[in-house]
Structure 1
Amino acid sequence: MKNRSGIHRFFNAEFTLLDKKQDRYLLILICLIFSVVFVNVFVPFNINRWYSDSGFIQFLRLSSYGVIIAIVFLFTQFPLRKIFKITHFKVKTYLLWLSIEAALINLTYIFSYGNPLGNFMNDMGFSIKYTLPGVCLPYSFALLLIYYKNQYSEIKTLKQQAARPAPGKLIGFKDEKGKIHFSILTEDLLFLESADNYVYVYYLADGKKNRRILRNTLKNLEEALKARNILRCHRSFIVNTQNVEMAYKKGKRLFLKLKQTDSSIPVSSKYFPLFLAYIS
């Protein structure tokens, strides 16, 4: 049951790498450049012998494979997403969308270089066999670069936020409908913990740790709290950096201990550089 639950969470998780337009343009550009260079330098599957050409004409033909990939991605990532009103992906919808992109690339290859009226199924099998590996390599490389670019940008933003003074004294905690349920002094807030569609808010009252529950998500609360040096350290935790009493490493992992608490708050690898720099 746990394994099924984990798989279900994975496929329903948000896939945000291609939410921004600039990241989609970067994906297309990387795929284009990578494909053109890779095909011309390494000529996989003896692709240079498929036609009796050479020199500049052969270069143009081989480069056209990468150009077709870029054109298809340009179509699917912009007009097609707009038509279907897709602004965000979940993992499962992203994988479906990726399979549609692969199918369109194969169809374009068949109509460009094959004989769809003569032997469509044979050409389709041939196209899938030779084009998918060529598409997967630049696509994976592009996603990896986008991931690390976004990680760097997010960490840089978090560091800038951490350096700003915390405005105001009271923090108003709103539910998912935007209604304030309670307010807590900034210096008394300890940490927030995610619990499905709820958030546990831990704070100090009369020197003791207390807890209140709020119907909302950490993602909704995160942006408003950044300005007060209350930062995300894990997918399930946001901590008030003013109340970090101790930070320690256990193996390769970093943990935070807050005032008046016995439990340790983990810092995930995504936020590790921020907190390592912040507490040093």
Structure 2
Amino acid sequence: MERPKNIPEYFISKRNIYIQIVFTTVFAYAFINIYEPFGAAHWYAITKWQFLLYSGLLVLLGMAVVVVSRVIMYQINRVRPVSILQYSLMVAGEIFIMAAFFALIEDYALDDSRSYAELWFVAIQNTALILLIPYLISLLYFAFQEKKIKLENLTFDYFRKPVIDFIPFRDENGVMRLSLKKSDLLFLEASENYVLVHYRVRNEVKQYLLRNSLKKLENEMKPHHILRCHRSYMVNIGQVKMMQKGKKGLELHLSVPENVVIQVSKTYEPAIIAELDLLPSTDQSV
């Protein structure tokens, strides 16, 4: 059975969620007041200023639903990737719940003569129109920005690599935060929502805190022979001076004055052994 496709990470990164919520709020308020969808301003005997006020309150109420929805989506994505189907259902849920609130206000607060079912049906149409347009625009913008960042990074890597082997480190939004000579990089360590980059300056080991995850960096680091060796570690294979069997399995000793030892999980042992060109049965020091 084919696995469901996941929504791109950059669609639901924290920064892009903020941008989408703000843009949708501004768009919805402007759209309602400029175009007055379905003649909304003429349903009730209110002035233009009252309509501006009431529509603003309705937009804020609607955005509260969106905020709750996006917080839930963001937390789910931290545990497992959100599929396109799940993302679509969350958006549909936002529309239906917001429409239910709007219909309730019309039915009770404004004493509309139409049935609640009719009010909800009309509210669903209005809400879908007002939400889906800014959603589509913002998602197209995010996709464009992602492609632009990748192109810039490829260009940077292409022109930098012939000069010296540098490794760029980018945050969760694809923005480059640090660039290190490969020979100075020691290992990467997971630290909650961050990655600690351990590198060498002369004979001193320093750290840089990067907002990203080992999972996202794993594919980017493979061409540089920076491999995952543990749930919490990736190691620069070129800095390994010795590998030996320890009490908990294979251990990697790095080429630094301090005795830095990185544990290798059973899952990653075959890949590490293959990279170091060792026989599977080897248990001696390298």
TM (normalized to structure 2)?
0.51
**1:220, distance to aligned residue in structure 2 (A):** 7.4
Aligned residue number for residue 219 of structure 2:
222
Match for residue 108 of structure 1 among 91, 101, 110: 101
**Shift in alpha-carbon separation, 1:221–1:125, aligned structure 2, 3 A:** same
Match for residue 164 of structure 1 among 160, 166, 183: 160
CA-to-aligned-CA distance 1:168-190 (integer Å, 9 cap, x gap): 9xxxxxxxxxxxxxxxxxxxxxx
Amino acid at match of 2:7: F
Amino acid at match of 2:123: S
Aligned residue number for residue 65 of structure 2:
72
Distance 1:73 1:24 in 2: 10
Contact 1:19–1:88 (CA under 8 A) maintained in structure 2: no
**1:150, distance to aligned residue in structure 2 (A):** 2.1
Contact 2:99–2:124 (CA under 8 A) maintained in structure 1: yes
**1:47, distance to aligned residue in structure 2 (A):** 1.2
**Shift in alpha-carbon separation, 1:26–1:55, aligned structure 2, 3 A:** same
Which structure exhibits the higher relative contact order, with contacts defined as CA atoms closer than 8 Å and separated by 6 or more residues? 1
CA-to-aligned-CA distance 1:204-245 (integer Å, 9 cap, x gap): xxxxxxxxxxxxxxx8763014669xxxxxxxxxxxxxxxxx
Contact 1:110–1:124 (CA under 8 A) maintained in structure 2: yes
Match for residue 129 of structure 1 among 117, 125, 128: 125
Q: How many residues align?
A: 170
CA-to-aligned-CA distance 1:37-76 (integer Å, 9 cap, x gap): 1111121211111221113211112233432332211111
Contact 1:40–1:63 (CA under 8 A) maintained in structure 2: no
Unpaired segments of 5 or more residues in structure 1?
A: 169-218, 229-280
**1:18, distance to aligned residue in structure 2 (A):** 2.6
Distance 1:80 1:18 in 2: 11
State yes or no: 1:27 paired with 2:20: yes
Match for residue 143 of structure 2 among 130, 147, 153: 147
Contact 2:14–2:74 (CA under 8 A) maintained in structure 1: no
Could you list the runs of 4 or more consecutive aligned residues of structure 1 that deviate by over 6 angstroms after TM superposition? Answer: none
**Shift in alpha-carbon separation, 1:99–1:86, aligned structure 2, 3 A:** farther
Match for residue 35 of structure 2 among 31, 42, 50: 42
TM (normalized to structure 1)?
0.52
SS at structure 1 position matched to 2:55: helix
Deviates more, 1:121-130 or 1:68-77: 121-130
Distance 2:18 2:81 in 1: 16
Unpaired segments of 5 or more residues in structure 2?
A: 167-215, 226-286
**Shift in alpha-carbon separation, 1:35–1:85, aligned structure 2, 3 A:** same
**1:27, distance to aligned residue in structure 2 (A):** 0.8
Equivalent residues in 2 for 1:1-280 (5 A)?
12-16=4-8, 17-79=10-72, 81-82=74-75, 88-115=81-108, 119-165=115-161, 167=165, 222-225=219-222
**1:28, distance to aligned residue in structure 2 (A):** 0.4
SS at structure 2 position matched to 1:14: coil
Distance 1:130 1:227 in 2: 52
Distance 2:65 2:79 in 1: 17
